[in-house]
Structure 1
Amino acid sequence: MTHHSDLLVLGTGNAGMAAAGVAHNNGKSVTLVESRDVGGTCAIRGCVPKKVLVAAAASLDVIARAGEHAISTGEVQLDWPALIRRERTFVDGVPDMFKASILNRGMTLVTGKAVFIGPNAVEVEGETYTADKIVIATGSKPATLPIKGWVHTVTSDDLLTLEALPDEVVFIGGGVIALEFAHVLIRAGARVTILEAAPRVLPRLDPDMVDTLVDYTRSLGVTIHTGVTVQSIDRDDDAFVVETVIGDETVSLNADLVVNGAGRRPAVEALDLEAGDIKADRGRIEVDAHLRSVSNECVYVAGDALATSPQLSPVASYEGRLAGENAILGADAKPDYSTIPSAVYTVPAIASVGLDEVAARAAGYDPVIKVNDLREWRSAKTYAEAVAFAKVLIDPKTGLILGAHLAGHGAEEVIHLFTLAMKTGLTATDLATMTYAYPTFSSDLKFLV
């Protein structure tokens, strides 16, 4: 049997729901297909549950610095199983909530794996679904590495349901997942090692900002090795041995848990893109500036299924909305990523928006670069901050903010002031002459520009 809709959406995460919402609000029929939990990664296996663990780590961090405020504390321990139970309360029932939202708005929800059988048709569980337009919003999945014994690694999904805290954890890969969970696990009482093949962890972020974070992360007891080659992962009874080359030395590391920190890639390979006349290169769907497949004008791609944009849930919602508008309304919107902020939720966090030094010079700017170590500033000392760093890039010709890179000092919140300035065209002078509530971290912004 064939079922037809105006819009067919593959995936019910942020991108898929945003695209479906556009179509529904414009009176179009919508069918969504989900192969896993309704609601997607962010709400169920990503941002939301992870932040519960980060919040616990932040509380432990505050307690650790209590002595600086003349507060005496006794022995403090984290009840890991209880924390995981609390974190799961943020997830339990969420798929049903998303499902109810879809059905209550009169949209159709299909569960199962979609496979293209034509340019505008997919098959799910033996049924055929066609549509005038299709949005691929299937999200991402953990990347894999060609390392012997890789099957022994676990993912961030597994960490979010980990009932017992391991003694020794090794992350292979030094990306966002590794750094964020390292800050949680080390404070919970585990020993943590990060192995990164590249010369730096978080290689896509401003190096000075990252160096500030790395120095502090090491001070917590996390071991970070870069430029390493992991050769194998072998099981040893209930534990594992990670064979790696660090410098010129082969080192064996023991671990109770080996975590895949190699990042994520688009989850599109199982769709049979070729059958849908969707051009792709090694799982990277090729799209034009309007998020439309270069080979199939019926198909749009949004969210983590799109390999060329930041893997952030707000970006997924943004792209999903644009894809929906372009597909349903015939709009010709192009995504603009220039003022989208991002944060890495270590404790404390780091955050960025706009260009770094290399990108700014490549774009033809000769930026004014203002770097500040804020740890001796009154605001930072008041809260005994161990990390407080800011780097701001300014165009000397226009005074416009080109980029901002912050560590600690409320970075994940203050970054939005820089984002707002960039989005609305406020200059460094505008920011410096504003009146702020004082004393606040935000009030320091006038001295950062």
Structure 2
Amino acid sequence: MYKYDVFVLGSGMAGMNIANICASKGLKVGITDELPYGGTCALRGCDPKKIMLGATEAKDFAARLHEKQIAEVPAIHWKAAMKLKQEFVDAMPPKIEKGYKHNGIETFHQSAKFISENQLQVGDKTIEAKKIVIATGARPRVLGISGVEYTLTSTDFLNFDTLPKSLVFIGGGYIAFEFAHMAARFGSEVTILHRGKQPLESFDPFIVEQLTGATQKLNIKVVLNTNVTAVEKFGDSFTVTGKDENGEQKWEAEAVINSAGRPPAIFDLDLKKANIAFSKRGVEVNEYLQSTTNSNIYAAGDAADTDGIPLTPVAVMEGHIVASNIINGNIKKPDYTAIPTVVFTLPTMASVGLSEEKATEKGIEFIVNKKAVPDWFTAKRINENTYAYKTLIEKETGKILGAHIIGPHAEEVINLFALAIKARLTSKDIKTMILTYPSASADIVYMV
């Protein structure tokens, strides 16, 4: 029997912060992860993806200014980009484990299952802990279709030795769009199949419309209102079958990527044996991120059923809160106000705050400012044809309620709107600011 004050399941950003903070306060801490230490963001998501996007950003910039200011569009090489990405990824797990051991945290590398309210089976070892934290993240949704075994995941995509010449993405979320843009610029023929009438359903329809147009200009096929029913293998290629209002359709590709969402990775943990309530959204927690049915348990990140968006910064925040509540008692609660989210396509799409639908549900009277502005200097100087915004402003107070942007540096500009919402700034406050010019940030004055 191995006994701990705190034992953490999952070594992503939430689990890592919880383990290190608790250990720094003198608690005896253990952690396990059946995958290499680091979690999705560092090893299979945000960071490696951004490294791979570097080459496509250079190509995109040169293509827009081709024959205007730049003589040639550079060739970009998948294998070279992959090598750079892998150097980063390979260095992370040993670095993280070294940090754990330096902090006195005992490390395990096996999957875990609950055997009682405060005990776990981790490999062939029995673990008992006063507090157990579930921070196991998310994993690709299992598709209920024939031939599901032929589909690959975003992790597989980021490990292709050679990029397939053609790809079909099942699902029209941010993973599909980000990787489709990347693959198309590296030379692949790409199709996105989405069952709904609008891809990227959690984003503003007006802004998504702009992105869909830009995506189609990259010769990426975006097929909507289509339910995928089967994947078949024929030699070295695959055929994807889907149904729309006109009947059955088929698409052929060298690889098929499952990008149909990522549910929490909690369903193999035998949670019922520990009296842990859960839903398809994650472990049910109270306002302190503590299990509603077992006070020994906390959950954070994608594994927890909260109002937070499944993003790395949210997992980090929740990790700090869980650690504080374990150490000091339940005193801290998460604040999910004004959390920005980004789709790293080119152009980039970003959002923060309320949508029109949410603002209406809350009974708020608001003003909408929206416009496509490719003629603004920020876009004009780099020959970017996709630039648009929508902002929501409370009618009575003038406070910024929400902002939705697509265009140059949207991933940075959205942070200013996040600050504005968090600080409860009004449109007048923003309009009277003096900002650097010419800069993309300065455009916010005209968006409100």
TM category, shorter:
over 0.9
Aligned to 1:332: 331
Q: How does 1:84-163 map to 2 (within 5 A)?
A: 84-163=82-161
- CA contact under 8 A between 2:173 and 2:199: conserved in structure 1? yes
- CA contact under 8 A between 1:170 and 1:257: conserved in structure 2? yes
Q: 1:88 to 1:118 in 2, by over 3 A?
A: same
Is residue 19 from structure 1 mapped to residue 21 from structure 2 by the alignment?
no
Q: Which amino acid aligns with 1:316?
A: A
State the shift of 1:28 in Å.
1.6
Aligned to 2:254: 256
Aligned to 1:227: 225
Structure 2: stretches of 5+ with no match in the other structure: none
TM-score (norm 1): 0.97
- CA contact under 8 A between 1:401 and 1:428: conserved in structure 2? yes
- CA contact under 8 A between 2:379 and 2:407: conserved in structure 1? no
Q: Distance in 1 between matches of 2:332 and 2:363?
A: 26
Q: Distance in 2 between matches of 1:221 and 1:5?
A: 55
Aligned pair count?
447
Q: How does 1:312-323 map to 2 (within 5 A)?
A: 312-323=311-322
Q: Distance in 2 between matches of 1:165 and 1:285?
A: 37
Q: Which amino acid aligns with 1:305?
A: A
Structure 1: stretches of 5+ with no match in the other structure: none
- CA contact under 8 A between 1:391 and 1:406: conserved in structure 2? yes
TM-score (norm 2): 0.97
Q: Secondary structure at the match of 1:194?
A: strand
Q: Which amino acid aligns with 2:45?
A: G
State the shift of 1:247 in Å.
3.0
Q: Distance in 2 between matches of 1:54 and 1:432?
A: 34
Out of 208, 212, 219, which is 1:210 matched to? 208
Aligned to 1:36: 35
Aligned to 1:416: 415
CA offset digits 1:378-412 (Å, max 9, x no partner): 22201111211111111121221101001012100
CA RMSD between the two structures? 1.3
Is residue 384 from structure 1 mapped to residue 383 from structure 2 by the alignment?
yes
CA offset digits 1:207-265 (Å, max 9, x no partner): 11111100110111000011102121000011101111233132221110000010101
Q: Secondary structure at the match of 1:18?
A: helix
State the shift of 1:3 in Å.
1.6
CA offset digits 1:134-178 (Å, max 9, x no partner): 110011110012111011000010111101121110000001110
Q: Distance in 2 between matches of 1:274 and 1:263?
A: 25
Aligned to 1:51: 50
Q: Which amino acid aligns with 1:90?
A: F
CA offset digits 1:24-67 (Å, max 9, x no partner): 23222211111111111111111110111222211110111122
Q: Distance in 1 between matches of 2:385 and 2:25?
A: 51
Q: Secondary structure at the match of 1:182?
A: helix
Q: 1:282 to 1:67 in 2, by over 3 A?
A: closer
Q: Distance in 2 between matches of 1:306 and 1:417?
A: 28
Q: Distance in 2 between matches of 1:285 and 1:256?
A: 38
Q: Secondary structure at the match of 2:350?
A: strand
Q: Secondary structure at the match of 1:69?
A: coil
Aligned to 1:280: 278
Is residue 445 from structure 1 mapped to residue 440 from structure 2 by the alignment?
no
Aligned to 1:193: 191
- CA contact under 8 A between 1:133 and 1:328: conserved in structure 2? no
Q: Distance in 1 between matches of 2:300 and 2:347?
A: 31
Aligned to 2:166: 168
Q: Secondary structure at the match of 2:139?
A: strand
Aligned to 1:395: 394
Q: Distance in 2 between matches of 1:145 and 1:395?
A: 42
Q: How does 1:353-364 map to 2 (within 5 A)?
A: 353-364=352-363
Q: 1:62 to 1:282 in 2, by over 3 A?
A: closer
Aligned to 1:300: 298
Q: Which amino acid aligns with 2:354?
A: L
Q: Which amino acid aligns with 1:314?
A: P
Q: 1:390 to 1:282 in 2, by over 3 A?
A: closer
Q: Which amino acid aligns with 1:433?
A: T
Q: Distance in 1 between matches of 2:204 and 2:69?
A: 35
Comparing 308-317 with 152-161, which one deviates more in the overlay? 308-317
Comparing 239-248 with 434-443, which one deviates more in the overlay? 239-248
- CA contact under 8 A between 1:389 and 1:409: conserved in structure 2? no
Aligned to 2:368: 369
Q: Which amino acid aligns with 2:416?
A: L
